[in-house]
Amino acid sequence: MDTAPPETLTRPKIVTGEDYINSLRGRNLTVYLFGELVEEPVDHPMIRPSINALAETYDLAVREPELASTISPFTGERISRFLHVCASTDDLVLQNKMQRKLGQLTGTCFQRCVGMDALNTLHSVTFEMDEKHGTPYHERFKAFITRMHRHNYVIGGAMTDVKGDRSLPPHQQADPDLFVHVTRRTDAGLYLTGAKAHQTGCINSHWMIIMPTMRLGEHDRDYAIVGAVPVDAEGLTYIYGRQSCDTRSMEGGSIDVGNARFSGQEAMVILEDVFIPWKNVFMDGEVDFASMLVERFTTYHRRSYVCKSGVGDVLIGAAAAMADFNGIPKASHIKDKLVEMTHLNETIYATGIAASHQGHATKSGAYICDDMLANVCKHHVTKMPYEIGRIAQDLAGGMVATMPSEKELNHPRIGALLKKYLKGKADVPTEDRMRMLRLIENMTLGRNAVGYLTESLHGAGSPQAQRIQIARQMQLEYKKRLAMVLAGIEIEADPEAVADELGGYFARVFKLPDE
Ligand SMILES: Cc1cc2nc3c(=O)[nH]c(=O)nc-3n(C[C@H](O)[C@H](O)[C@H](O)COP(=O)(O)OP(=O)(O)OC[C@H]3O[C@@H](n4cnc5c(N)ncnc54)[C@H](O)[C@@H]3O)c2cc1C
Ligand code: SF4
């Protein structure tokens, strides 16, 4: 990959978590929460834990640079791994290892992978668009990445439209704004209107990449748009997404929140005539590339859900600690349930990391992971965290859902009663037992269940989306032939069909290391 021309650095480069938090101040974003404008999101007690989770991605890069950072081929400087375009399968694998580690450190969604996967996708898709249509997108895109690398910014990925009637394409919707679209073009750039739903970490990002959400037809040209906007661009309004038990972070105290330091963040983003200069437009009307873009993005992103194995490590640890606190760590069914949780959790990790190891180069030189295995990983993720969560609640006991509040624990009369009657094993402080119960509640019913459960179900596409991708690649004719041969059934050897059957997924499975 070659380098784009340098641009002037107008803002300092972000290195530490603290630099990052400071970089978010004073941006004057239009953020609504509880019907009011938020003056400074950084200082809002309900928003701050989500900012802390992102700050941890910078601090990890300082503590473990080999894991969470790399040298930019565009600037020659050290940058976050979240901004890197993969140039090998090792790069893909390292993304997964970093994601598992950050899941372990935060116990939640650290919000940076959608942008990472969008960057990787666009590197190859802009290259192939230019090859077919003679467009200038790839050079523009490399110049954009270079600017992002110079500052070490956070990028959000805005794909999911609000979509209205799910049975209709964008141009047939009763309201044309239900999918983000171009409203006008000028010599300077284009203007967008519409809304994106469920945008992870958008308020905590510096830039956002707008992308189409589905394959598009001839009549949807104005919806085939990819462009980058700064999060503080004029015309952007953010409506904060509520999370279960979110207002606990506004009550003071550190027990009832379950995880006082970290949370995820999603918001709805409304675009009202948002301007994007041509230099930041990377697709405009190329409907024939919308499905390639969505499929490549989901291929990267579905194996990024390895993050859940890191979060799962925390939940397994919490369940095991509860068994200790309750005095029953040696009971055989407890050990067996911890084994089951670990088996499920490692299944997620195994399929994700395998998708990365079985990656390959695209025409632009960017590496992409294996489509089939990425979909299998994400499909596991739609189910296994729910089962891991169920077992964690089993081991926690019913107190996970009926425990009195932290204020009672600190009450002059009730506190002593709680310390006496919520005691487990004699040498474990009651407060520790309460904290662990609240963490399990947080991850399976509270704020971080959004990231661990519902995001696992719908993020990067609902379960059916993975089944469609798996069905497309399952090569049944090839498998039927294998069975027929062994069953002794005579079949005609059609060389073309055999060659076809050995393409696709199995070509990747049987590819030898030096091919
Ligand atoms: C916590 C969280 C974080 C997310 N973060 C991001 C993000 O950062 N960026 C981003 O772009 N997106 C993000 N998403 C969005 C995610 O990709 C979508 O939720 C997902 O694609 C499903 O879309 P939907 O929510 O509109 O559900 P719907 O599309 O309404 O799906 C509901 C059900 O209807 C089915 N269905 C939908 N359409 C059809 C159809 N045409 N025919 C038959 N069945 C259909 C689905 O399979 C599903 O079972 C996030 C989602 C969550 C929950
Ligand atoms: S859900 Fe996981 S993959 Fe998606 S942004 Fe959050 S941490 Fe990253």
The string of pLDDT tens digits covering residues 479-505 is 998 999 999 998 877 776 666 667 889
pLDDT-derived band at 416, boundaries 50, 70, 90 = very high
Q: What is the mean pLDDT of residues 223-236?
A: 98
State the residue for tokens 């300082």.
Answer: 62
Q: What is the mean pLDDT of residues 32-37?
A: 98
Q: What is the pTM of this model?
A: 0.96
Ligand 2 in contact with 110 (CB < 6 A)?
Answer: yes
Ligand 2 in contact with 455 (CB < 6 A)?
Answer: yes
Least confident range from 133-142, 432-441, 497-506: namely 497-506
Contact yes or no for 173/165 (Cβ under 8 A): yes
Q: What is the mean pLDDT of residues 72-79?
A: 97
Atom index in ligand 1 nearest the CA of residue 200 equals 8
Ligand 2 in contact with 114 (CB < 6 A)?
Answer: yes
Here the tokens at position 347 are 């299944």
Ligand 1 in contact with 458 (CB < 6 A)?
Answer: yes
Q: What is the pLDDT of residue 1?
A: 47
Pocket test for ligand 2, best of 97, 109, 202 (most atoms within 8 A of CB): 109
Atom index in ligand 2 nearest the CA of residue 200 equals 5
245 is catalytic: no
Q: How far apart (Å, rounded) are the C-alpha atoms in residues 106 and 51?
A: 11
State the residue for tokens 């497309």.
Answer: 472
109 is catalytic: yes
| Percent of the chain's residues with pLDDT above 90 | 93
Q: How far apart (Å, rounded) are the C-alpha atoms in residues 372 and 380?
A: 12
Catalytic residue among 108, 200, 362, 382: 200
478 is catalytic: no
Separation of CA 123 and ligand 2 centre (Å): 20
Ligand 1 in contact with 22 (CB < 6 A)?
Answer: no
pLDDT-derived band at 417, boundaries 50, 70, 90 = very high
CA angle 214, 224, 138 (to 5 degrees): 110
Here the tokens at position 377 are 């990983």
113 is catalytic: yes
Ligand 2 in contact with 305 (CB < 6 A)?
Answer: yes
DSSP 214-242: S---GGGGGG-EEEEEETT-TTEEEEEPP
36 is catalytic: no
Q: What is the pLDDT of residue 513?
A: 79
* Closest ligand by atom to 302 CA: 2
Is residue 7 over pLDDT 70?
A: no
- What is the phi-psi region of residue 490: left when phi exceeds 0, alpha when psi lies from -120 to 50, beta otherwise? beta
**Nearest C-alpha neighbor of 33 from the set 22, 21, 43, 20:** 43
Ligand 2 in contact with 223 (CB < 6 A)?
Answer: no
* Closest ligand by atom to 167 CA: 1
- The protein residue with its alpha carbon nearest to ligand 2, atom 6, reads 109
Name the DSSP letter for residue 278.
Answer: G
Separation of CA 448 and ligand 2 centre (Å): 12
Average pLDDT, the chain: 96
- The protein residue with its alpha carbon nearest to ligand 2, atom 5, reads 111
